[in-house]
Amino acid sequence: MAKLVYDDNGRLLFTKEMKETYTLLMPQMLPVTFALMQKLIQLEGYKVELLDTNHRGIIDTGLKYVHNDTCYPALLVIGQLIEAVNSGKYDPDKIALMITQTGGGCRASNYIHLLRKALAKAGLGHVPVVSINMSGLEKNPGFSLGLRLIRRMVPAMIYGDLLVHLANQCRPYEVEAGMTDALVTRWTDRLIALFVKGQGLGRKKMAPLMKEIAADFAQISLTGEKKTPVGIVGEIYVKFAPLGNNNLEDFLLSENCEPVVPGLTDFLLFKIDNRIEDVALYGGSFFKKKLAGIFKGYIEGLQQCMIDAVASQPKFRGLVPFSELKAGVGGYLGYGNKMGEGWLLTAEMIELIHAGIPNIVCTQPFGCLPNHVAGKGMIRRLKDNFPQSNIVSIDYDPGATKINQENRIKLMLASARRAAQTP
Amino acid sequence: MPIKIGIDIGSTTVKVVLLDEENTPLYRVYTRHYSKVREAAAEQLRQVADRLQGQDVRVLITGSAGLGVSNASNIDFVQEVYATAAAVEKYIPGTDAVIELGGEDAKIIFFGGTLEERMNGSCAGGTGSFIDQMATLLDVTAPELDQLSLQHEKIYPIASRCGVFAKSDIQPILNQGGRKEDIAASIFQAVVDQTVGGLTQGRELTGKIVFLGGPLAFLQGLRDRFVETLELDADHAVFPEHADTFAALGAALCTDDVAPMPFEELLKRLDESVQETGLTDTLPPIFASENEVEDFRTRHAKAAPEPVDADSYRGDAYLGIDAGSTTTKLVLITPEGGILRSFYGSNKGNPITIVLEELKQLRAFCGDRINIRSSAVTGYGEDLIKNAFHIDLGLVETVAHYRAARHFNPQVDFIIDIGGQDMKCFKIRNGAVDSILLNEACSSGCGSFIETFAKALGHDIAEFATLGMLDQTPTNLGSRCTVFMNSSVKQAQKEGAGVESISAGLSLSVVKNAIYKVIRAATADDLGQHIVVQGGTFLNEAVLRGFELEIGREVTRPTIAGLMGAYGAALSAKDFEGDTGNLLDATALGNFTHMAKPGMCKACTNRCSLTINTFDGGRKFISGNRCSVPLGGERGTEPNLMRYKYKRLLTMRGKGDGTGVRGTMGLPLGMNMYENLPFWFALLTKLDFEVVLSPESTRELYQKGQRTIPSDTVCYPAKLLHGHVEHLIDMGVDAIFYPCMPYNFDEGKGDNHYNCPVVAYYPELLRTNMPRLAGVRYFDKYFGLHRPKDLERIAGDFFLTEFGVPKQETVTAVRHAYKAYENFRQEVRGEAERCIAYAREHDKQILVVAGRPYHIDPEINHGLDDLICSYGLVLITEDSIDHLVAPEKRKVLNQWTYHARMYDSARYVGTQPDMELIQLVSFGCGIDAISTDEMRDILEAAGKLYTQIKIDDISNLGTVKIRIRSLIAATEALRGRSAL
């Protein structure tokens, strides 16, 4: 074990010595994108392992160490990390854990603290926890998100979104099973190879590369059969993570549907946009607002490359820029609605409906506070404004059963099919 | 043409419908499947085999448990709500809406305009199984419950969200002598409220409404409640024949696109699927072998009371009664603790009758031979039984249980008691009850829960428990509340789990629920070294063994585990040094009569539902009250800061010092308005608006807005706002002002100063979900009170644009408002100082009630403050003392202003020997999952007790009483005084 160093508040630090000898464990959320992220962090000289576990033991571990009323994602993320520590696969004296921290007014900001409490409860108080955040919270001498890493992570996220967006439109229809996933892997490998050389980053490089990706996916031969596209929106973890949503995408595929999952880029833009809106609503530092504006503009530029790339292949459903999403939500929620997924959740539902995908699964952990308003709370108004909208709200929870969830989704799908039949 | 077959496999029943090519029904059948879903379906088809042999059929399966059968047997599936809609469209044209209640699902279909179909969420149990559970509780069958309901005189408010909640409402009414007729009708009303409130979500239920599903087909009382609530006449309330088979009928109708198959093929597919089991999620067995069972039994037989020959014994004896929630227990002991006589039985919804009968027999048994020196009673029915039979001593359950546990293990340091309805756990430190944990209303996976399942699966409880003991693959059913457990069982059934595995799984669920959810323990050492387990549920050997396995430690389980409350009461009776020997004698018991009449106290807005019990000779006992006013006494006169604040806020309406010329401005009195009202009132009146407050919250006000609540799992304080705003609209105010406020005042205490997401954004939810708001000027603008200087500018712009108020006027008003708000906080703090001084002068305990500002609303806290003060405690609030300690860094992210206040008030309480704290938590408050653990840490580190009270729309204070009395008993014991 490395020497344990604590800061003034008694927080265990991740030291430079640990950087050399420790393995950082990272919880899974978005398989394609997180695989890219993992590689980027490895390039910075850290030993990182992305956890791909998905079994009941994770939930049981979570229930044991986390307050059972805490939201389900916390229980899963912490359960996954502690289960891994206890699995015997790693030397518990040579690991550290990574977790993201957002800092909003939702309980998600407390994950890292709940994780430390859980570690203490499990007798693992010596395992350091590293916060991944962009707010400058919790600094560690042995870990930093340097400018280089950030400048790589943002493009990686966008590549990830692009791959997921295209793959989702091919997978349900591929003539030869496995073609789509093989292409995703091929591109992931190629992107990583480029990252290693410091290539494929920045607008100028990304634009042609993303067009090449889109062209490649367009080559996959598809059956042309008709399937029901179904949007998936909701609390970010249960929306994306198969562990969190009982493998929702697989279920939808098995039901002859095409899952449509809005990406991560808009979420990041949303979080940055919140800072700008905060100043507009309540007053505050002009400088901070300006800085956030610059960062937002940079990401929006990269997002535009992605949108153009998708548009270059007319067979694919297009994407809209963040600004359009934001404009669409006017009249529903204010831009100050920023906790959790806030107005973005409603905006994504509206955009899906506009894109001709009125059938939507709105996912949230049981008792998710922001979604009472931005998720469940908006369904009535959406139904009034868009009678074709067909949204089912599904709660995820350690005790909720898959059969109950699937039966409710099936009801939504039955309505969807009827609507498709009646002109 | 092939015959069309629809098979509906629900959670408890199988229905089969056959149609000919003209869609004329040929045959329909309905039967319970007792979890053998596939066998039952095949069985029903065999009965019509003669009619179908050699023919082609088109088949669709539907229903909540049908999905699994469909997958396993490769027969097509149609979702049941979809199928039902098809059947209704075909057979009952002109329908506007369908309400269907099934075993575990509730559904609504809206026709007309756009078709909308909805099912209850995962946390909503007001359905057939719920009615069955409630009937069990009243010891009647469902048809008997129905008959009872037809003779009701009054309706009690019963929480309608979920079965478990309703149970905790009904139990105390029963124990206090409420009439079964009234309770029966109230149960049905709860189902109606749940369906209407939970499922309509803003869409009006009008026109021609068709009622479907088993419960609505069989229960007249339930129909009556629906018809009355929805104000329907005979033309608009349709109760079709065969209402229970519409889903099956619809499935048969939908078969047109299904490929026909020979009938024999259908049977073959069903039969083959019976063999297929896909059980993946299992747990290690409870016992590996018979030998293990033997060793286990020998070990536990050792913890038994002293043997005594009851038939020849002469001398003194002590009586203990435990009038529990579902069962009544009596124990008569010798001074050494030997048991002379004991009784354990269901209180069949009327504890008085049971106790009377038992006491008569007991008196006969004793004759001249045994002298009952003193008696004591504990449990939910304590007050009633004590008054009815002149019992000498009443004591709180926790104290009784500790007394009994100590008898079997003097070193006991942890007790867990799992009874029929509740779970109590407490630690013992320095010979006193130290830390008490009770299960929340939402997780009572206790004894009666296993019993209900046993019955549903066709077994009696004792037999059911044994079934699982040697099962090698217990089903993993999770560890949540009953409702979730229901669907877990359903899923297990779908996967083909046998009744043995389900039995074992249920036992283990109860154990996990206790350890992880109620106790929140990660290891055995979190509990203690000497653990005593008791309560009827631990007589279930599967549960007992499961508990030992889960914590990895052997425990003491007295052989009289189910009688421990009564046994402890008897031991306490023996210790009791007051006035004894008052128990009614044989003659008095012979003359005993009891009548219970419902009533309502009108002394204040709490509107307590009273039960007036009259005994022989005109003796009276009133129950259900929260204070002593209906008993002819005075309202508690102890200082009560919650009431003080509440009264003060209610005065903040009208024109204030202004002229009111700018019109009326309606403010809903809910959520953060309880914190911000002094601010907004000052600001608005300064600007010459007249402030109109919505009325005080009541259940009726809640129901007024209930239809527009989109999320049934949001907290009760938020739900109440719908009624407040409805009322403001009715009052015809010029505008309604309810700003969005993600940020709270920055008090410099924590890492940030947020409000919770619900407080922050609920105004927007109201705007988009209450159609009537479209016709009103409604302001849900974002304001940030944390930046006073910026607010002057931002508010200035707002009032200029909307009302033409000159900017400078607003600037002055904003400054004035900050001062007024600060003055109010100072006033509350000053009042707290007076309360504390009073307490110290009169040597009284001070109780700090820590929660949210809106918890002072009596409809939210259900008059809990009066109850506390009636025990002679002085009550102050968290926001009156939090300024007395310096800010300190917390282990959690301390980012909500209200949380920060609670943490600091807890830290201050830790420094004051005469203060204790209880934390109020609204059910569904996700962010309090964080604060509760932290509050516990703070208080326990300071050597204080931690008590949490979860509140919801439940209006009964029974469990709250236990907590408060236990807290008082424990603190007094810690202070070395005699226990209460």
pLDDT at B838 over 60: yes
> Is B962 within 8 Å of chain A by CB?
no
Q: Which residue of B has its CA nearest to A283?
A: B790
* B784 chain-A contacts, CB cut-off 8 A: 281-283
- Domain endpoint, select from A145, A163, A188: A145
* B202 chain-A contacts, CB cut-off 8 A: 380
pLDDT band with cut points at 50, 70 and 90 for residue B421: low
pLDDT at B122 over 60: no
- Domain endpoint, select from A94, A118, A145: A145
Q: Which of A144-148, B325-329, B381-385, B959-963 is least confident? A: B959-963
Separation of CA B21 from chain center: 49
pLDDT band with cut points at 50, 70 and 90 for residue B978: very low
What is the 8-class DSSP label of residue B475? Answer: B
Nearest to B491 among A65, A122, A402 (CB): A402
Same structural domain, A161 and A31: no
**What is the length of chain A?**
423
Q: Thinking of the domain B423-555, which architecture would CATH place it in?
A: 2-Layer Sandwich (3.30)
Domains B97-239 and B832-974 share a fold: no
**B97-239 belongs to which CATH class?**
alpha beta
Q: Give me the residues of A, 293-322, that contact B with CB < 8 A.
A: none
- From B180's Cα to the closest Cα of chain A, the distance in A is 33
What homologous superfamily is domain B307-409+567-591 in, according to CATH?
Answer: ATPase, nucleotide binding domain (3.30.420.40)
- The answer to whether residues B63 and B250 touch, using CB atoms and an 8 Å cutoff, is no
Contacts of B193 (CB under 8 A, 6+ apart): B126, B160, B229, B703, B706
- CA trace torsion B216, B220, B221, B225 (10° rounding): 60
Where do the domains of chain B lie? 3-92+250-275, 97-239, 307-409+567-591, 423-555, 594-623, 643-824, 832-974
Enclosing domain of residue A245: 150-421
- From A360's Cα to the closest Cα of chain B, the distance in A is 14
Nearest to B122 among A65, A106, A404 (CB): A404
Same structural domain, A126 and A263: no
Same structural domain, A67 and A180: no
> Is B424 within 8 Å of chain A by CB?
no
Contacts of A156 (CB under 8 A, 6+ apart): A33, A36, A37, A40, A191, A195
Same structural domain, A134 and A277: no
* B117 chain-A contacts, CB cut-off 8 A: 411, 415
Q: How many CB atoms lie within 10 A of CB A378?
A: 27
pLDDT at B136 over 90: no
Mean pLDDT confidence for B722-744: 96
Cβ of B786 within 8 Å of Cβ of A282? The answer is yes
Q: Residue A1: inside a domain, yes or no?
A: no
> Is B889 within 8 Å of chain A by CB?
yes
* B787 chain-A contacts, CB cut-off 8 A: 282-284
Structure tokens that stand for B795 in this block: 């508010």
Q: Which residue of B has its CA nearest to A120?
A: B522
DSSP assignments along B587-645, one per residue: HHHHH--EEEEEEE--SSTT-PEEEEEEEGGG-EEEES-SSSTTTT-PPP-S-BHHHHH
- The answer to whether residues B100 and B213 touch, using CB atoms and an 8 Å cutoff, is yes
What is the CATH code for B3-92+250-275?
A: 3.30.420.40
- From A358's Cα to the closest Cα of chain B, the distance in A is 14
What gap in Å lies between CA B27 and CA B17, rounded to an integer?
Answer: 6
> Is B718 within 8 Å of chain A by CB?
yes
Q: Which amino acid is it at B4?
A: K
For residue B235, give the H/E element and its range: none
- The answer to whether residues B694 and B669 touch, using CB atoms and an 8 Å cutoff, is yes
Q: Which tens digit of pLDDT belongs to each residue from B253-278?
A: 999 888 899 999 988 888 887 655 55
Same structural domain, A191 and A122: no
pLDDT at B603 over 80: no
Looking up tokens 């954004």, which residue turns up? Answer: B761
What's the pLDDT at A80?
A: 94
Radius of gyration, CA atoms only, chain B: 30
- From A106's Cα to the closest Cα of chain B, the distance in A is 7
What's the pLDDT at B282?
A: 81
Q: Give me the residues of B, 459-488, that contact A with CB < 8 A.
A: 476, 478-481, 484-485, 487-488
* ipTM entry: 0.93
pLDDT at B369 over 90: yes
Bridge partners (DSSP) listed for residue A121? none
> Is B12 within 8 Å of chain A by CB?
no
pLDDT at B956 over 70: no
* B714 chain-A contacts, CB cut-off 8 A: 372
> Is A64 within 8 Å of chain B by CB?
yes
Q: Residue A367: inside a domain, yes or no?
A: yes
- CATH of B832-974, picked from 3.40.50.11900, 3.40.50.300, 3.40.718.10, 3.20.20.70, is 3.40.50.11900
Q: Which residue of A has its CA nearest to B937?
A: A117
- From A385's Cα to the closest Cα of chain B, the distance in A is 11
Interface test with B, best of A12, A54, A376 (most B CBs within 10 A): A376
What gap in Å lies between CA B969 and CA A119, rounded to an integer?
Answer: 35
> Is B888 within 8 Å of chain A by CB?
no
What's the pLDDT at A216?
A: 97
Out of A119-128, B458-467, B789-798, B892-901, the most confident range is B789-798
- From B380's Cα to the closest Cα of chain A, the distance in A is 27
For residue A24, give the H/E element and its range: strand A23-26
DSSP, collapsed to helix, strand or coil, labels residue B568 as helix
Q: Which amino acid is it at A332?
A: Y
Nearest to B758 among A284, A372, A399 (CB): A372
Interface test with B, best of A61, A407, A413 (most B CBs within 10 A): A407
> Is A164 within 8 Å of chain B by CB?
no
Interface test with A, best of B782, B790, B894, B937 (most A CBs within 10 A): B782
Interface test with A, best of B129, B516, B759, B931 (most A CBs within 10 A): B516
- The answer to whether residues B368 and B314 touch, using CB atoms and an 8 Å cutoff, is no
Q: Residue A278: inside a domain, yes or no?
A: yes
**CATH number for the domain that contains residue A51:** 3.40.50
A421, A422, A400: which is closest to A59 by C-alpha? Answer: A400
* B898 chain-A contacts, CB cut-off 8 A: none
A365, A367, A361: which is closest to A379 by C-alpha? Answer: A361
Out of B115-129, B681-695, B701-715, B913-927, the most confident range is B681-695
Contacts of A59 (CB under 8 A, 6+ apart): A75, A76, A79, A398
What gap in Å lies between CA B980 and CA B977, rounded to an integer?
Answer: 9
Return mean pLDDT, chain B. Answer: 86
Cβ of B491 within 8 Å of Cβ of A116? The answer is no
- Domain endpoint, select from A120, A145, A170: A145
What's the pLDDT at B280?
A: 58
Cβ of B752 within 8 Å of Cβ of A105? The answer is yes
Q: Which of B337-351, B585-599, B602-616 is least confident? A: B602-616
> Is A9 within 8 Å of chain B by CB?
yes
Same structural domain, A137 and A174: no
- The answer to whether residues B721 and B670 touch, using CB atoms and an 8 Å cutoff, is yes
DSSP, collapsed to helix, strand or coil, labels residue B328 as strand
Distances (CA, A) of B390 to A244, B376, B567, B619: 57, 10, 19, 11
Q: Which tens digit of pLDDT belongs to each residue from A361-394?
A: 999 998 889 999 999 999 989 999 999 999 999 9
- From B546's Cα to the closest Cα of chain A, the distance in A is 16
pLDDT at B977 over 50: no
Q: Are strands B3-9 and B13-19 parallel, antiparallel or unpaired?
A: antiparallel
CA dihedral sign of residues A330, A334, A335, A339: negative
Out of B319-333, B411-425, B525-539, B875-889, the most confident range is B875-889
Cβ of B793 within 8 Å of Cβ of A121? The answer is no
CA dihedral sign of residues B804, B809, B810, B813: negative
**Overall number of domains in chain A:** 2
Structure tokens that stand for B794 in this block: 């931002």
Interface test with A, best of B279, B755, B765 (most A CBs within 10 A): B765
- From A121's Cα to the closest Cα of chain B, the distance in A is 7
Same structural domain, A105 and A86: yes
Nearest to A109 among B517, B790, B893 (CB): B893
* B889 chain-A contacts, CB cut-off 8 A: 9
Same structural domain, A187 and A330: yes
Higher pLDDT, B396 or A360: A360
DSSP, collapsed to helix, strand or coil, labels residue B227 as helix
What gap in Å lies between CA A51 and CA A187, rounded to an integer?
Answer: 21
- From B395's Cα to the closest Cα of chain A, the distance in A is 32
Q: Give me the residues of B, 110-129, that contact A with CB < 8 A.
A: 113-117, 119, 121-123
Cβ of A105 within 8 Å of Cβ of B115? The answer is no
DSSP, collapsed to helix, strand or coil, labels residue B540 as coil
Mean pLDDT confidence for B596-605: 74
Q: Residue A38: inside a domain, yes or no?
A: yes
Same structural domain, A78 and A190: no
Same structural domain, A109 and A160: no
* A377 chain-B contacts, CB cut-off 8 A: 710-711, 764-765, 768-769
Which of the residues in chain A have pLDDT under 70? 103, 423
Same structural domain, A231 and A141: no
**What is the length of chain B?**
980
